[in-house]
Amino acid sequence: MRILRWLFWARLVSVVVLGLAAVGLSRLPWVQDRVFLAVAKHSLGRSYEHYFDGQRLSVIVCGSSSPLPDPNREQACLLVIAGDRYYLVDAGPGSPRNLGLWNIPREKLAGVFITHLHSDHMGGLAEMRLQSWASGRKGALPVYGPPGVERVVAGFNEAYAIDTVHRVRHHSPGFLHPEDALMEARPVALPEPASPTKDRQTVVLEQDGLKVTAIEVDHKVVAPAYAYRFDYRGRALVISGDTAYHPPLAVASRGADVLLHEANATHMEALIHQAVAATPTANQRFARLHREINDYHTSPVDAARIANQAQVPLLLLYHLMPPIHTRLQLPMFLRGVGSIRPDGVEVAEDGLLIELPADSREIIEDSLQ
């Protein structure tokens, strides 16, 4: 008994002594420099070479949130790597920060595909342009999207024109070419005539074995709105963008390995509506906004139905509404999904990386966080 007591006190004293020593050491400049240098080397040394070797199709979730504020997620952004370059599908506000934190080689950004012209899908566009330009990207950055993307791109180019002049003057035009700072709109039009079932498609890009197809989806008044399908070396993934339940998307997703689909938990939105109505100090406009959100999005259960119809092995839910603050909320968010799709459903987190090795059925997951 006495030995146990002695061991307890010895352990307590050693923890206190070590703690005080750590606090004391952290105040010494040479210790601060060593630790700082080691951390910087570690984060800068992260290598993505493997993913750019042309032997796989990969996707990184750089933003899995909806416009509703989420402390752990940035807004819509998916980064697709095929060959020695990558593309973004949407550039939601905050998502450029993730690329910087993970030290993604931003000079390899070859283009951005905007699903539709809602702010939560394009608010980070100018920062993506800036970061990739500063990192050494060459030529104007192509931005594909529904008609109207020309106005968006012209507006961002104009809004950042003075910033560009300042940076070129400071670093010299030999180092930062002003032409590389620009974005170039590539409007994507669907074949005419329009179909009432909204099931049109068009190939947007075909280059070095990569095929990107725009697929019409149903985001109601926001038309046209697109999903994008990426096919590369026998593997395929589809990114839904924002859409209501839309069975033609399932048809267009056949043969894909992963479907990244938006998800709006209507049963949780209804509770938020109730909470706002019962809270006199809350801004009552939110009740209406939360009710109307349901008009043009898809519930997790309906997203699972689309995945089943498409027969995709993996459904990854993103653009999550409402925000999920803790993993304990996942069963509530996914309520009803298990009974129609017991396996092959995941909820995205920022930093999730999915790798699809060429000409195989393998799906490998990792996290950058």
Judged by CB, which is closer to Zn ion: 114, or 250?
Answer: 114
Judged by CB, which is closer to Zn ion: 83, or 248?
Answer: 248
First to last CA, the chain: 45
Q: List, in sequence order, every residue forming a beta bridge with 58; answer none if it has no partner.
A: 81, 355
Q: Is 99 helix (H, G, I), strand (E, B) or coil?
A: helix
| Tokens matching residue 48 | 């993505």
- The least CB distance from residue 236 to Zn ion, in Å, is 23
Please give the backbone phi and psi of residue 272, each rounded to the nearest 5 degrees, phi first: -65, -40
Residue 313: which of 254, 355, 233 has the closest Cα? Answer: 254
Q: How far apart (Å, rounded) are the C-alpha atoms in residues 74 and 78?
A: 11
Judged by CB, which is closer to Zn ion: 64, or 253?
Answer: 64
Judged by CB, which is closer to Zn ion: 242, or 302?
Answer: 242
- The least CB distance from residue 156 to Zn ion, in Å, is 18
Judged by CB, which is closer to Zn ion: 307, or 320?
Answer: 320
Angle, CA of 190, 143 and 163, to the nearest 5°: 150
Q: How far apart (Å, rounded) are the C-alpha atoms in residues 35 and 43?
A: 13
Count Cβ atoms below 10 Å from residue 291 Cβ, excluding itself. 15
- The least CB distance from residue 199 to Zn ion, in Å, is 19
Judged by CB, which is closer to Zn ion: 57, or 91?
Answer: 91
Judged by CB, which is closer to Zn ion: 137, or 261?
Answer: 261
Residue 307: which of 366, 358, 365, 262 has the closest Cα? Answer: 262
- The least CB distance from residue 342 to Zn ion, in Å, is 28
- The least CB distance from residue 211 to Zn ion, in Å, is 25
Q: How many helices (H) and strands (E) does the chain have?
A: 12, 15
Count Cβ atoms below 10 Å from residue 193 Cβ, excluding itself. 6
- The least CB distance from residue 114 to Zn ion, in Å, is 11
Residues in contact with Zn ion by CB under 5 A are: 118, 120, 242
Count Cβ atoms below 10 Å from residue 271 Cβ, excluding itself. 13
Judged by CB, which is closer to Zn ion: 105, or 146?
Answer: 146
DSSP summary character for residue 75: B
- The least CB distance from residue 14 to Zn ion, in Å, is 53
- The least CB distance from residue 172 to Zn ion, in Å, is 40
Q: How far apart (Å, rounded) are the C-alpha atoms in residues 368 and 62?
A: 10
| Tokens matching residue 154 | 């012209």
